[in-house]
């Protein structure tokens, strides 16, 4: 007992600090952060965002820096940008750089605190050193929140003989954004991609042909698929082709005619399958070589192409007048994914 008392007494003395009262520890103060305030979208804001993008894009392409280039893109444009950089590396070529003209910006009047914010640019674009490379690019930019940066989410190229529909602007220079269910146009903006995919699957005989023109990018895809399937069959292969909508943003702008210019994207999923016999494997398509390692593990090659389009969606005809059909005016895209899955075990 005496030993226990001798041990406890010094500890108690140390804990009491020689009789002084214990001092309260200071409460840590966390620095306060003010969330960024929404900035109203104006033509000037859009112009600065566009100029920033083309400057940053050129830096990334000049340095062949894929990761940096992907910093300024999103959605389908990210897939296509990554595929382009990998193809250049595979071929041993420099990544394309672009020279831009003066853009025409179509800026919808949106609420300052409504996100995403977006605008569309129409601009002449060419590849320095390449003759006859000048094309008109339609570029969709998006800002998903006040703390985010502007990203290029979609870029497509006006067809050589196509004319860009004239966009309706108000006295202040703002465009009118179409809602997903706009009833003044022939096809609801959210359904334009689905109509095109239907025509690609069914051809000119499709019911969808009643509202969209036939052509290389609609019923023409159906004919391409028929030829590709026949070629595969002749090689004892099976080809499956499916066009689907994407989860990516689409944009709609009112035209002076009362119709709409709709920018959107589609996927094309291909599955090329061998006969299943020993040693029989499909060859890797040339356009997908840069996305694979040169070997086919099983007897199947799957590819996904990302396509980006612009379509003119006419206004609904009135008073029994003839109804014009929707028409594709711009397209671009490439195979963006490829895989060679192993043979499924029974």
Tell me the sheet residues that pair with 263: 251, 310
Q: Tell which wins on pLDDT, 150 or 6.
A: 150
Distance CA 183, CA 163 (A): 24
DSSP state of 186: S
- Helix and strand counts by DSSP (H, E) for the chain: 6, 10
The pLDDT of 53-72, averaged and rounded, is 97
Distance CA 151, CA 131 (A): 29
The pLDDT of 230-255, averaged and rounded, is 96
Q: For residue 1, what pLDDT is reported?
A: 35
Nearest Cα residue to 250 out of 304, 174, 196: 196
Give the burial class of 167: count Cβ atoms within 10 A of its Cβ; 0-12 exposed, 13-18 middle, 19 or more buried.
Answer: middle
Q: Tell which wins on pLDDT, 2 or 227.
A: 227
Distance CA 285, CA 281 (A): 12
DSSP reduced 3-state for 146: coil
DSSP state of 319: T
The model's pTM is 0.87
Q: For residue 294, what pLDDT is reported?
A: 85
Q: For residue 11, what pLDDT is reported?
A: 34
Q: Which residues contact 71 (CB under 8 A, 6 or more apart)?
A: 56, 60
Q: Tell which wins on pLDDT, 34 or 310.
A: 310
Name which of 114-118, 270-274, 292-296 the model is least confident about: 292-296
Distance CA 83, CA 75 (A): 13
State how far Cα 330 lies from the chain centre. Answer: 15
The pLDDT of 254-261, averaged and rounded, is 97
Mean pLDDT score of the chain: 90
Q: For residue 8, what pLDDT is reported?
A: 38
Percent of the chain with pLDDT over 90: 78
Q: For residue 18, what pLDDT is reported?
A: 44
Q: For residue 7, what pLDDT is reported?
A: 38
pLDDT above 60 (res 32): no
The pLDDT of 40-55, averaged and rounded, is 97
Q: For residue 296, name the pLDDT band (cuts at 50, 70, 90).
A: confident
Read off the pLDDT of residues 92-107 as tens digits, 9 standing for 90 and up: 999 999 999 999 999 9
């Amino acid at each position: 007992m005496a030993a226990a008392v001798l041990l406890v007494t010094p500890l108690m003395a140390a804990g009491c600090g020689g009789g002084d009262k214990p001092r309260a520890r200071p409460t840590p103060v966390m620095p306060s952060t003010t969330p960024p305030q929404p900035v109203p979208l104006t033509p000037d804001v859009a112009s600065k965002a566009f100029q920033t993008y083309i400057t940053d894009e050129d830096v990334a392409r000049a340095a062949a820096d894929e990761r940096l280039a992907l910093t300024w893109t999103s959605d389908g444009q990210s897939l296509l940008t990554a595929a382009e950089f990998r193809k250049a590396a595979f071929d041993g070529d420099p990544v394309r750089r672009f020279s831009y003209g003066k853009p025409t910006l179509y800026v919808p009047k949106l609420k300052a605190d409504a996100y995403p914010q977006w605008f569309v640019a129409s601009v002449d674009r060419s590849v320095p050193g390449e003759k006859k490379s000048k094309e008109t690019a339609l570029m969709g930019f998006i800002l998903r929140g006040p703390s985010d940066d502007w990203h290029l989410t979609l870029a497509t190229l006006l067809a050589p003989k196509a004319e860009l529909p004239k966009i309706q602007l108000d006295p202040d220079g703002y465009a009118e954004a179409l809602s997903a269910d706009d009833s003044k146009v022939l096809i609801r903006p959210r359904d334009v991609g689905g109509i095109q995919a239907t025509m690609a699957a069914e051809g000119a005989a499709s019911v969808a042909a009643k509202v969209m023109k036939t052509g290389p990018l609609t019923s023409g895809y159906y004919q391409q698929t028929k030829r590709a399937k026949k070629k595969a069959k002749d090689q004892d292969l099976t080809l499956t082709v499916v066009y689907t909508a994407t989860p990516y943003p689409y944009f709609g702008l009112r035209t002076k005619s009362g119709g709409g210019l709709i920018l959107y994207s589609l996927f094309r999923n291909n599955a090329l399958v061998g006969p299943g016999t020993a040693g029989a494997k499909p060859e890797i398509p040339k356009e997908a070589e840069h996305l694979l390692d040169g070997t086919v593990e099983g007897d199947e090659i799957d590819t996904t192409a990302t396509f980006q389009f612009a379509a003119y969606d006419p206004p609904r005809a009135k008073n029994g007048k003839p109804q014009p059909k929707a028409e594709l005016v711009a397209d671009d895209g490439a195979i963006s994914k490829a895989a060679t899955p192993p043979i499924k075990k029974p």
